Structure 1
Amino acid sequence: MLLVLGILLNSCDKKRNTKPDTVETKTNLFDLNTTKTLIKEKTKQFTEAHIIKDTTYLNSIFTKDARVFPPNSEAVSGIKAISQLNTDWVNYGIYEFEEVSTAIYGNEDYIIDEGMYYLKYGEENTIDNGKYINIWKNVNGQWKIYSNIWNTNLPLELSDSE
């Protein structure tokens, strides 16, 4: 009986100390091309949400600690402040909005999406175009915008007093 117990304990100990031949890391699971396709789809949903005034989606696409850097304005930090910004933007009346990625790169934690945008909004049908950078962060397997900045390509208009 003692011999059988010794053999069982010895075999369990060997199983515990055995290391696998390969270790699957987070990096091995990351596929940049698949992620690029996903980011492009999320970007399309992001722009469409502005047109249909879907602030629920817009608020869910940002991380809780996100930062937004709108043109001609102070930076906005945190989901509560970004939620207000989203409400303000959709209330301008966005009729057309498109973002086109010109470069997407990164890793399993962060993706940088650089691109150009076209925007038509407001009662005067204001047209704007410019460039943007979105930094996407992987939060528990979900890609969310961690940082967003955009600015216009339109020339600065000087007031009559200058």
Structure 2
Amino acid sequence: MKTLLYPMLLVMSISATICAGQSKQQASLDEAKKAIAESNAKYFVLYAKNDGSLVNLYTEDACLFVPGAAPTAFCGRAAIGKFFKEGYEVVGLKSGKFTTTNVYGDGIEYVTEEGLSQMFDANGKLYDEGKYMVLWKKTKEGWKMYKDIFNSNQAPK
């Protein structure tokens, strides 16, 4: 009986450790999901200000992977700010909406968000619809967008 007791206790101990780790990982992922929802709720409020404050939702070394541009064309907060300022002032995009469809990852250092987007002009008319993926990074200031890629559902012209 003793010979069976020790392996059983070992298995129970390992199982408890695994469950505790999974529970902590789920709590971290839930925290990330909440932070992403809060950031997305602020996103177009900050965008509409057109004062550059939107870039604070991104890490210092973040990159936007914009259709038709080199991967490094919009890296860093200054370049990201310039991109959004042009979208607001030149293109005329004034608001939008994000719908998160999935968030996954370990919730410890990085998570990935998938979603759908809509952009509207000054009259509230739908300008474009698309999809996006954001790699979020946990920083000292909380969860920030690190790599942001998006594209239109419209066929290229």
Q: Aligned match of 1:59 in 46, 55, 58?
A: 55
Task: State the Cα deviation string for residues 12-52 of structure 1 (Å, max 9, x = none).
Answer: xxxxxxxxxx9xx9x94753223212211211211222233
Provide the C-alpha distance between the structure 1 equivalents of 2:117 and 2:92, rounded to a whole number of angstroms: 17
What's 2:78 paired with?
A: 80
Amino acid at match of 1:156: P
Amino acid at match of 1:150: F
Superposed, which structure 2 residues align to 1:126-141 within 5 Å? 127-141=127-141
Runs (5+) with no aligned partner, structure 1: 1-21, 158-162
What's 1:97 paired with?
A: 96
How many residues are treated as equivalent by the alignment?
132
Provide the C-alpha distance between the structure 1 equivalents of 2:51 and 2:104, rounded to a whole number of angstroms: 28
**Does the 8 A contact of 1:97 with 1:118 survive in 2?**
yes
Could you list the structure 1 runs, at least 4 aligned residues long, displaced by more than 4 angstroms after superposition.
none
More helix by share: 2
Task: State the Cα deviation string for residues 103-153 of structure 1 (Å, max 9, x = none).
Answer: 011221011110000111368x56100100111100115111100011000
Q: Aligned match of 1:70 in 66, 70, 74?
A: 66
Superposed, which structure 2 residues align to 1:11-160 within 5 Å? 28=24, 30-56=27-53, 58-75=54-71, 76-91=74-89, 92-106=91-105, 107-121=107-121, 127-157=127-157
Provide the C-alpha distance between the structure 1 equivalents of 2:98 and 2:126, rounded to a whole number of angstroms: 17
Aligned-residue sequence identity (percent) comes to 26
**Does the 8 A contact of 1:48 with 1:97 survive in 2?**
no
Scaled by the length of structure 1, the TM-score of the pair is 0.70
What's 2:7 paired with?
A: none
**Does the 8 A contact of 1:94 with 1:121 survive in 2?**
yes
Secondary structure of 1:31's counterpart equals helix
Provide the C-alpha distance between the structure 1 equivalents of 2:137 and 2:126, rounded to a whole number of angstroms: 32
**Does the 8 A contact of 1:132 with 1:151 survive in 2?**
yes
Computed over aligned residues only, the root mean square deviation of the Cα atoms, in angstroms, reads 2.6
- Between structure 1 and structure 2, the one with the greater Rg is 1
Provide the C-alpha distance between the structure 2 equivalents of 1:81 and 1:48, rounded to a whole number of angstroms: 20
Provide the C-alpha distance between the structure 2 equivalents of 1:126 and 1:115, rounded to a whole number of angstroms: 17
Amino acid at match of 2:81: S
